[in-house]
Structure 1
Amino acid sequence: MKEGPSSPHRDPRAELMALTAELRPELHRYCARLMGSVIDGEDVVQDTLARALVALDEIKDMPRLRPWLFRIAHNRALDLLRSRAVRRAEPIEAASDVADEASADPMETLMRQEAVETAVSRFAELPLMQRSVVILKDVLDESLKDIADLLDLTVDAVKAHLARGRARLAEINALAATHAAARPVSEAVARYVAMFNTQNWDGLRALLADDVKLHQSTYPVRLGSAEVGRFFTIYATLGGVRLQPAWVEGREVIAVFEPGAGATPSYFMWIEWKDGRISLIRDYRYARYIVDDAKLLLAPDGDTAPNKNAH
């Protein structure tokens, strides 16, 4: 893990906050693939940073912050995955030949490129330790030694997990469907998008449940229709923002297009409903790195006609 020298007069909290802005996209790339979900990965990132701030007050000897954050994220993600019993870890076998990171082996380069281009959700099909090693080596380009230190393994064990994980990931990619099927737009999302695109802010506020919650990255959670209603007040001042229904990881979401963005969404929102009212809004405007790894499937432009059989 790469981290510069520390000052003898460190302010741990200030240092952590400064590092956080730089490190969040990288932490998300790791956590999203570990969880098999860009949305769940961001939840782990936020939880990691909250836990780190609390832990700073209890630590006597300050650790190097970058590897420490990755270790917290790793442990938190594994706790969640184990609680779901997603996968059983496979036993370590003898280490296969893995090129050293200092060499410019063409096969190594090809394997790293395949890992970077692999859909986030497919990593969830790997056993946990293989998953962690492949992500750290092939996606984040960490050294074998740093991976061993983070995961409390020997370098030979890291090589074994890497070789097996790469082979399994290649099999998964070979079997994966090349195209996702189009889906109907739900009536609720169609109505929300249509009202937003026509700037019917009062109509949108009327859809909010009394106890609605708004999550926006590192900002405090907003609660209640009056407080969350300001969300639309802010968007009313931006101008030119357009929404389009979409899907990511099997969840119906809403892609957000900003002026000048062309055909590429800038970020997305995820909305939950209860009894026909909005109960939760997750807006990823301040965590735009998520869309870089999200395989968004957009509904056809203008396809917001309500489908009363879908929700």
Structure 2
Amino acid sequence: MSEREPAVDRDRQEGLLALATVLRPELHRYCARLMGSVIDGEDVVQDTFARAFVALDELCEVPQLRPWLFRIAHNRALDVLRSRAIRASEPIEAALEVADDSKVDPVEMLMRREAIETAVSRFAELPLLQRSVVILKDVLGEPLAEIAGLLGISVDAVKAHLARGRARLRQINAQAKPLPDARIASAAVARYVTLFNQRDWDGLRALLADDVRLQQSMHPPRSGAADVGMFFTIYAKSDGLWLKPAWVEGREVIAVFEHRTAPKPIHFMWLEWRQGRISFIRDYRYVGYVTDDAELVLPGDAGSFGRGTG
């Protein structure tokens, strides 16, 4: 940049992205449903902010943050979906009648409520454009014209995808199976939970592999047993936290409650193990919104938590 005016300076970069963090929960609501996974959705959000910070170096003018970040998130999600070879395509037919943005229609409100209450994983059964349009319109309440601009299609095409997506989502919800019964926690997770609830921090540190890695959204990654061991030092300062084994999206995780009798978890974490020791920790402590949309299932008769569990 030595031969031209610098782009958005570093102080403004940090200020802009600090302001943009208020959009994280909304971005996650979109990305989680687009990916069909609260875990994958947060990965996309995390990557979106990393890419946005780099991109600001090349910009000479401050962008409108909301549409800019949504565009980055949308494109990143598409890249991931394409790499998994699950992208679906469909012909665009004549636009069907969809309620006008300026009118408050009871049927329209009912459709929006149904979409908001739908389990995140069910959106992945929609073709990609239907999925994007339904999420943007019915979950996030975006105007049709802005949806068209984000997706690069006409307003009539948005209406057509919305009508078909809503109809398909109703079929998916009608045919959806209930959440599976909770399973028995693995010995490794049960041991971790027991040591944590006993506040045995040295016992937990002893479980760490020498090359263990820790990832927490909005914080730099940590690696190595000594550095990751600080993870427990931080948790030791939080009185009353209580852990329970749980499952989300088929993955065994650990639900974190504010106290032992709290009615629902405030976040969760998941661990990877190698030869009986922890090789990776993914902790969602600083992004509690991930848990808001997660379908967390607890052992025994403790029940399930999250949106769309019906």
What does residue 307 of structure 2 align with?
Answer: none
Q: Could you tell me how far apart the structure 2 residues matched to 1:217 and 1:10 are? A: 21
Opposite residue 110 of structure 2, the aligned amino acid is L
Q: Could you tell me how far apart the structure 2 residues matched to 1:211 and 1:185 are? A: 25
Opposite residue 274 of structure 1, the aligned amino acid is R
CA positional deviation for 1:19: 2.5
Q: Could you tell me how far apart the structure 2 residues matched to 1:139 and 1:201 are? A: 41
1:124 counterpart = 2:124:
yes
Point out the more displaced range, 261-270 or 11-20.
11-20
What does residue 305 of structure 1 align with?
Answer: none
Distance 1:46 1:189, change over 3 A: same
What does residue 238 of structure 2 align with?
Answer: 238
Opposite residue 25 of structure 1, the aligned amino acid is P
Identity of aligned residues (%): 69
Opposite residue 292 of structure 2, the aligned amino acid is D
Q: Could you tell me how far apart the structure 1 residues matched to 2:85 and 2:152 are? A: 22
What does residue 174 of structure 1 align with?
Answer: 174
SS in 1 for 2:237: helix
What does residue 71 of structure 2 align with?
Answer: 71
Q: Could you tell me how far apart the structure 2 residues matched to 1:156 and 1:210 are? A: 57
Q: Could you tell me how far apart the structure 1 residues matched to 2:269 and 2:299 are? A: 14
CA offsets 1:220-246 (integer angstroms, 9 cap, x no match): 000000000011111112121100000
Q: 8 Å contact 1:12–1:56 — kept in the other structure?
A: no
CA offsets 1:87-113 (integer angstroms, 9 cap, x no match): 321111111110012111111101100
What does residue 5 of structure 2 align with?
Answer: none
Opposite residue 21 of structure 2, the aligned amino acid is A
CA positional deviation for 1:215: 0.7
Q: What does 1:183-222 correspond to in 2, within 5 Å? A: 183-222=183-222
What does residue 163 of structure 2 align with?
Answer: 163
SS in 2 for 1:244: strand
What does residue 96 of structure 1 align with?
Answer: 96
CA offsets 1:234-262 (integer angstroms, 9 cap, x no match): 11121211000000011000000013872
Q: Could you tell me how far apart the structure 1 residues matched to 2:129 and 2:33 are? A: 12
Opposite residue 107 of structure 1, the aligned amino acid is V
Distance 1:82 1:265, change over 3 A: same
What does residue 309 of structure 1 align with?
Answer: none
CA offsets 1:3-53 (integer angstroms, 9 cap, x no match): xxxxxx996414422332210000000000001000110000010000000
Q: Could you tell me how far apart the structure 1 residues matched to 2:153 and 2:29 are? A: 22
Q: What does 1:259-298 correspond to in 2, within 5 Å? A: 259=259, 262-298=262-298
Q: What does 1:42-81 correspond to in 2, within 5 Å? A: 42-81=42-81
Q: 8 Å contact 2:241–2:257 — kept in the other structure?
A: yes
Q: Could you tell me how far apart the structure 1 residues matched to 2:123 and 2:261 are? A: 29
Q: Could you tell me how far apart the structure 1 residues matched to 2:24 and 2:156 are? A: 30
TM score, norm. by length of structure 2: 0.91
What does residue 308 of structure 1 align with?
Answer: none
Opposite residue 46 of structure 2, the aligned amino acid is Q
Q: Could you tell me how far apart the structure 1 residues matched to 2:70 and 2:115 are? A: 19
Distance 1:10 1:49, change over 3 A: closer
Opposite residue 299 of structure 1, the aligned amino acid is P
Opposite residue 23 of structure 1, the aligned amino acid is L
What does residue 151 of structure 1 align with?
Answer: 151
What does residue 82 of structure 2 align with?
Answer: 82
Q: How many residues align?
A: 294
What does residue 252 of structure 2 align with?
Answer: 252
SS in 1 for 2:203: helix
CA positional deviation for 1:180: 2.2
SS in 2 for 1:57: helix
Point out the more displaced range, 172-181 or 63-72.
172-181
Distance 1:85 1:236, change over 3 A: same
Q: 8 Å contact 1:196–1:243 — kept in the other structure?
A: yes
SS in 1 for 2:213: strand
CA positional deviation for 1:141: 0.2
Q: Could you tell me how far apart the structure 2 residues matched to 1:157 and 1:261 are? A: 50
State the superposition RMSD in angstroms: 1.7
**Structure 1: runs of 5+ lacking an equivalent:** 1-8, 303-311
Opposite residue 89 of structure 1, the aligned amino acid is S
Q: 8 Å contact 1:246–1:298 — kept in the other structure?
A: yes
SS in 2 for 1:264: coil
Q: 8 Å contact 1:32–1:120 — kept in the other structure?
A: yes
Q: Could you tell me how far apart the structure 2 residues matched to 1:74 and 1:232 are? A: 35
